[in-house]
Amino acid sequence: MNSTKLSKRIWFNLILFGFMGQVAWAVENVYFNTFLFNYIGGTTRDISRMVALSAVTAVLAAFVMGTLSDKLGRRKVFISAGYIAWGITVTAFALISRENIARILPREANVLAVTVSVVIIMDCVMTFMGATSNDAAFNAWITDVTVPENRGVAEGALATLPILATVFVTAAFGAGVTAAGYPACFLLLGLLVSLCGVVGLFSIRESKIERTPGGSYLSDLFYGFRPSVIKENRELYLSLSAVCVFSVAVQIFLPYLFIYIQHFLKFDFNSLLENMSAKTVAAAAGAIVGFVAVTVLLGKLLDKVGKGRFIALSILVFIAGLVLASHARTIGVFGLLALIMLCGYGLLMIILNASVRDFTPESKAGQFQGVRMIFFVLLPMVIGPFAGNRVIEAFAGNYEVSLYINDFGEAVSAPVPEIFLAAAVTAALIFLPIIPMRKKFK
């Protein structure tokens, strides 16, 4: 790129596909868990299994399809067609319920076990489509169309999208579930994701990918595992390690966050939506606009002064927010303390994601998406939720409020505050890969 300024077309696609992808992932990360826990009758152990298998699927998709997009020198078809297919798989969840599964099973079959398995399998199918289009192709496309001088502002914008998507999903999807039920919400979300893919057929311009001559697809698939490649790209793998530790910390509490708020803090999301006034909505909108503006400005600041000046502070703020949040016993106090955690979370996401892109070799972005997904998704989503579940099972007996009777009359353990403390301890380990590369950050 001759200029460091991103074009309007790039910004449009970055925001559209970034936001819609994060909305779909937010629904999976939040409401697929509550769907399995509340609607189907699964347990936190089932949730950890679903998250882990979904992570494995995402990594396989990123390896296979990311490398293929490099080999073919194409991103657009993988993004657009992938989003269309992704939306179709989301709509399939509208058909999953204990009642529907019972209709096709013998009477002696364990309906609950089969239904939970169907949800997990379909989650993996949906994840394959999402990882192909978003994690592999779209992320590689972002690396293609940005340079180190503008990645801070690009990552600043991207860093706001998961949080905005979570806010949007909490309000819109939550209200939809209350008013119309899960099936209708899955249908609408699937249609929106597919529509996004259709728009991409016309809005995305193919990025210029320097295709490396020679080499088989199979050798390209395992390119990122070669010892020589790891040695040549030391800073990339250190950055990926830092992301991995950070993401493990997040995954210890994130899959259980809304269940924790609902069943431990006893917060009724339905009452929030019912009691919303125009002033409340306006205040929330203002806060969101302010958050976006601050995050983008921080991204610009990072581009100017360097990421190294903020990395240690970001880690400490994130840890402090987690520790403080673990001591909150009301939703109001928890919300205020969670803001501290969000500040550290947002800064770390900008810095670490931008660093990974900075150290990714040009023309190899697709081949490194599989490696990236191991550190971003596979290890965190296998280790984190299982660790969180072990913490829940170990400490649930200390709290009477943690015992929850679901809609089917079955006793299950709700998440406990110790998941935030476990995440804080894990987050402190981010310093280990950061220290050896502090000079590169400067």
Nearest to 244 by CA among 69, 130, 374: 374
Nearest to 63 by CA among 217, 243, 236: 217
Residue 213 pLDDT: 57
Q: Residue 333 and residue 260: Cα distance in Å, rounded?
A: 14
CA atoms within 13 Å, Cβ hemisphere of 292: 15
Q: Residue 336 and residue 352: Cα distance in Å, rounded?
A: 25
Residue 398 pLDDT: 82
What lies within 8 Å, CB to CB, of 28 at 6+ separation is 54, 123, 126, 127, 130
Q: Residue 263 and residue 386: Cα distance in Å, rounded?
A: 20
Residue 355 pLDDT: 85
Residue 1 pLDDT: 40
Token pair in block for residue 57 = 């699927």
Q: Residue 309 and residue 313: Cα distance in Å, rounded?
A: 8
Neighbouring CB atoms inside 10 A of 182's CB total 21
* Per-run averaged pLDDT (10 residues), the chain, 442 residues: 73 93 86 84 85 87 84 88 95 91 80 90 94 89 82 79 80 81 92 95 81 64 82 91 95 86 77 60 66 71 72 92 93 87 85 84 70 85 89 84 59 83 97 83 56
Q: Residue 6 and residue 150: Cα distance in Å, rounded?
A: 8
Token pair in block for residue 183 = 């099936």
Q: Structure pTM?
A: 0.71
Residue 342 pLDDT: 84
Token pair in block for residue 150 = 């503008």
